Structure 1
Amino acid sequence: MALLTESEQRQVADAIARVEKETDAELVTVLAAQADDYAHISLLWAALIALILPGGLNFFGGWLDAARLLLAQWLIFVLCCLLFRIPGITTRLIPRPVRLWRAGNLARRQFLELNLHRTEAETGMLIFVSEAERYVEILVDRGISSQLDDSTWASIIANFTDQVKRGETLGGFLSCIESCGAILKEYLPATRNRDELPNRLVILP
């Protein structure tokens, strides 16, 4: 299932197009379901639970022989692996600093992969969201950062993050694009008519 419908994605693209008529900045939006599948961490948790739970019960109760203990450990491992595949559970197993680091790393990779660092005037701007991590980041190239400090976007990111937490991702994108556009219009007004990067919302499963 798409994170946003085609109609909603078009609304994001249209909002970018309107902003780019009034600024030299090149906006690109990316929406990821999650920054990582965290498979290795889920397996680690499953292995720890499978080792500790039956062993602990058997230590205090002594009701399992070696064969049944091994079988219980395998069953618990398999059940935990299946359970931890549920995204809502998986993300709660991951320490918050790890989730934020993974999401931030993906945002930076997208900045490079989508060529935001290669615009003619170095005015690329990435608005990145990872839903599972409730993570929002704005990255800009040198043409923008030379005019505007990173703190400029702090309140916009905070508001967008709150909207993502409430499940209002579309509204978050639209208000974020509008807010960024108002600032960019003032500091980097349009001086040329050139659209170097696609306006469509990039969806990462």
Structure 2
Amino acid sequence: MTLLSESEQQQVAAAIKRIERDTDAELVTVLAARADDYTYISLLWAGMLALLGPGVINYYPLWLNAHELLLTQWLTFIVLSLLFKVPAITTRLVPQRVRHWHAANLARRQFLELKLHHTEGGTGMLIFVSEAERYVEILVDHGISSQLSDETWAAIVSDFTMAVRRGETLQGFLTCIAACGEVLRQHVPVTRLRNELPDHLVILT
């Protein structure tokens, strides 16, 4: 699945290049389709509803014998398991707090896997988006956090999150990168040209 087209990904990369000319920050962007497949959630819901089936059937006498009740349970479980695997449905079955917890964990794993914590001066910065969870987070290394508090990014993240909810992920990226660039130019200005990390958008499908 392609979350952004090739030309849209190039727009994001170009936006990163523009702001990195004026700051020592090493910016990396990651776009994930979803933070988890939540298979256990779909199975849990299907199992619970299948177990409730006999009680509902017994409440409304349908004169089914034990074999027919068991068969009904199994069919209910199989059908619901398949139905609940549809991403649009699965996401709605998972509490927001759980979805955001998974997305936050994935963001932190990406920060480490992409070696944003190994940049010279600790100026790595990650803009992370998980579309299914409608989750946006900005993570920065110590070289930036020592200059700027986490509250600096709150409004930028909020605006980006709203853009993702509207289905405007590309524009959200471009606006977010530009807004981050304005802040970084002032507080983490360029001291020498370097490019330690790739500028392209990392896609997780």
Identity of aligned residues (%): 66
The Cα shift of 1:41 comes to 1.0
CA distance in 2, matches of 1:132, 1:177: 21
Equivalence for 2:198:
198
Equivalence for 2:164:
164
1:100-115, aligned counterparts within 5 Å? 100-115=100-115
Equivalence for 2:65:
65
CA distance in 2, matches of 1:195, 1:91: 37
Superposition RMSD in Å: 0.9
The Cα shift of 1:57 comes to 1.6
Equivalent position SS for 1:195: coil
CA distance in 1, matches of 2:80, 2:55: 16
The Cα shift of 1:54 comes to 3.5
Equivalent position SS for 1:203: strand
User: Which letter does structure 1 place at the counterpart of 2:22?
Assistant: E
The Cα shift of 1:58 comes to 2.4
1:83-94, aligned counterparts within 5 Å? 83-94=83-94
Equivalence for 1:35:
35
Equivalent position SS for 1:148: coil
Equivalence for 2:174:
174
Indicate conservation of the 8 Å contact 1:125/1:139, yes or no. Answer: yes
1:70-126 Cα offsets, whole Å, 9 max, x none, are 110111111101111111100110011100100001000100000000001100000
Equivalent position SS for 1:174: helix
CA distance in 2, matches of 1:63, 1:41: 32
The Cα shift of 1:130 comes to 0.3
The Cα shift of 1:59 comes to 4.1
Contiguous gaps of at least 5 residues in structure 2: none
Equivalence for 1:126:
126
User: Which letter does structure 1 place at the counterpart of 2:85?
Assistant: R
Contiguous gaps of at least 5 residues in structure 1: none
> If the length of structure 2 is used for normalisation, what is the TM-score?
0.98
CA distance in 2, matches of 1:143, 1:37: 34
Indicate conservation of the 8 Å contact 1:55/1:69, yes or no. Answer: no
Equivalent position SS for 1:117: helix
The Cα shift of 1:61 comes to 1.4
